[in-house]
């Protein structure tokens, strides 16, 4: 517990019943999750194999595993599950494949595979229409709906067409012994909500659940949490409604409010001390965030000094903006003798990198561009993976 502030310590020590930790940006939430896992294991509350920590990206799962490994030495962390929601869903389907009508060695279609199947089923349709239908199918799956349920809840002609297409698409996946990414959550949810034996079995396997970035969960992910946690609600969810930015892909920040209604005994702890920013930055952020509708008010604060004043640049266009950024970096590096690796530029879309790269090259500022096509998305890598998929699942016609 050394180095934890009082709310962090309170969150770590709370080990009975449901807990929601409302963690502001930079408030040490990952440390709380790591220390809580260690506390549950060290105190004998749960063996590591009965604890699951769920994150939203593979990167954050990898970082958490590294931090927990430093905290739980030897074999004390053996069997601990730290993964994404989708990885947990995949694990459930691999164990329970027969109960959901899959054969062993089923394939998981990525976005391109799924899009190709929808396009094939909509022969002659324009790319925009295919994308729109695929989006409606994905939305239904993220809400945890089967094709039949999607048809029942359809309110427009377009939604009814999407539900009918969803049924044909799902039949094709079944013929390939395959699932898509959204099925990794939807199918486990439907299994655990309808099969008592499967539900009790997984509650026995996972005795305590920790969920990071809970504000980014969609309806199906929240139902998966409830199905595993049960009425006892042995879980700790960490989230912040002020950081919810994924509504466009189905995230429902209202799950944080719903949790209070589903679990009346829910305890709420706020982490408001920030360890990342100066107080001046926090005051500006608090002033802006105060305009958001809030169910849970938070005010971030810091022990740090006020720091430098915030400057706002007004630029004519993207070229002028890039020139100012490059010039500022070169000036600051020369003035303070700072290494180039101390600087980082964040931009919203890959299309904005061109102007920035040109400005950096003109001023001879060395840079490394992150992003672009992911390794597993390269054509030659996907071809190699397709061969491997056919070897494992000969029914995968798509591969």
CA-CA distance, 87 to 77, in Å (whole number)?
19
Q: Return the pLDDT at 74.
A: 84
User: 20 near 266, Cβ under 8 Å?
Assistant: yes
Note the pLDDT of residue 374: 64
- Which range among 81-85, 110-114, 190-194, 336-340 shows the weakest confidence by mean pLDDT? 110-114
Core vs surface per residue 326-356: b (16+ CB within 10 A) or e: beebbeeeeeeeeeeeeeeeeeeeeeebebb
pLDDT of residue 2: 81
Separation between Cα atoms, residue 353 and residue 351, nearest integer Å: 6
**Phi, psi (5° rounding) for residue 269?**
-125, 130
| pLDDT confidence bin for 246, thresholds 50/70/90 | confident
Q: Does residue 371 register a pLDDT over 80?
A: no
- What is the reported pLDDT for 370? 85
Q: Is the pLDDT of residue 344 over 80?
A: yes
pLDDT higher than 70, residue 279: yes
Q: What tens digit of pLDDT does each residue of 92-143 get?
A: 999 999 999 999 999 999 888 999 999 999 998 899 999 999 999 999 999 9
333 — phi, psi (to 5°)? -65, -40
Describe the crossing of helices 183-194 and 196-205 by its angle, rounded to 10 degrees.
110
> What is the pLDDT of the chain when averaged over all its residues?
92
Helices (H), the chain: 6-13, 29-42, 58-71, 85-96, 111-121, 127-142, 147-153, 157-175, 183-194, 196-205, 219-229, 255-262, 279-289, 318-336, 353-362, 379-392
> How far, in Å, CA of 304 to CA of 279, rounded?
6
Tell me: pLDDT of 377 over 80. Answer: no
- Is the pLDDT at 372 greater than 70? The verdict is no
pLDDT exceeds cutoff 70 at 161: yes
Contact by Cβ (8 Å): 5, 27? no
Q: Quick one: CA dihedral 84, 89, 92, 98, positive or negative?
A: negative
- 294 or 261, greater pLDDT: 261
Which of 389, 394, 391 has its CA nearest to residue 112?
A: 389
Domains and CATH numbers, the chain: 6-90+187-276 (3.40.50.300), 318-362 (no CATH)
Higher pLDDT, 230 or 294: 230
Q: Which residues touch 279 (CB under 8 Å, ≥6 apart)?
A: 301, 302, 304, 305, 306, 307
Q: What is the pLDDT of residue 373?
A: 66
């Amino acid at each position: 517990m050394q180095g934890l502030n009082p709310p962090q310590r309170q969150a770590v020590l709370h080990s009975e019943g449901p807990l929601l930790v409302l963690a502001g940006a930079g408030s040490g939430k990952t440390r709380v999750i790591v220390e809580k896992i260690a506390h549950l294991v060290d105190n004998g509350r749960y063996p590591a194999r009965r604890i699951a920590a769920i994150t939203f990206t593979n990167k954050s799962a990898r970082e958490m595993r590294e931090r927990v490994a430093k905290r739980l030495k030897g074999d004390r962390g053996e069997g601990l599950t730290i993964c994404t929601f989708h990885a947990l869903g995949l694990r459930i389907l691999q164990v329970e494949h027969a109960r959901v009508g899959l054969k062993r060695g089923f394939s998981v279609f990525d976005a391109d595979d799924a899009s190709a199947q929808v396009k094939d089923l909509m022969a002659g349709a324009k790319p925009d229409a295919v994308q729109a239908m695929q989006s409606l199918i994905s939305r239904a799956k993220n809400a945890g709906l089967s094709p039949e349920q999607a048809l029942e809840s359809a309110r427009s002609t377009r939604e009814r067409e999407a539900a009918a297409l969803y049924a044909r698409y799902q039949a094709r996946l079944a013929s390939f012994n395959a699932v898509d990414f959204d099925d990794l959550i939807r199918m486990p949810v439907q299994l655990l909500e309808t099969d008592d034996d499967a539900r009790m079995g997984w509650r026995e396997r996972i005795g305590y659940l920790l969920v990071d970035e809970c504000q980014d969960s969609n309806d199906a992910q929240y139902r998966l949490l409830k199905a595993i946690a049960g009425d006892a609600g042995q879980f700790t969810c960490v989230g912040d409604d002020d950081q919810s930015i994924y509504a466009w892909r189905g995230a429902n920040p209202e799950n944080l409010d719903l949790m209070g209604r589903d679990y009346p005994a829910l305890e709420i702890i706020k982490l408001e001390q920030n360890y990342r920013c100066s107080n001046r930055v926090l005051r500006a952020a608090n002033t802006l965030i105060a305009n958001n509708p809030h169910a849970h008010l938070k005010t971030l604060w810091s022990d740090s000094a006020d720091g430098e004043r915030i400057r706002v640049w007004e630029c004519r266009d993207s070229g002028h903006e890039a020139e100012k950024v490059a010039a500022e970096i070169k000036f600051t590096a020369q003035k303070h003798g700072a290494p180039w690796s101390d600087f980082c530029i964040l931009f919203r879309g890959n299309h904005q990198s061109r102007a920035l790269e040109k400005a950096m090259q003109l001023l001879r500022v060395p840079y490394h561009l992150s992003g672009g096509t992911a390794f597993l998305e390269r054509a030659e890598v996907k071809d190699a993976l397709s061969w491997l998929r056919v070897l494992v699942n000969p029914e995968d016609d798509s591969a």
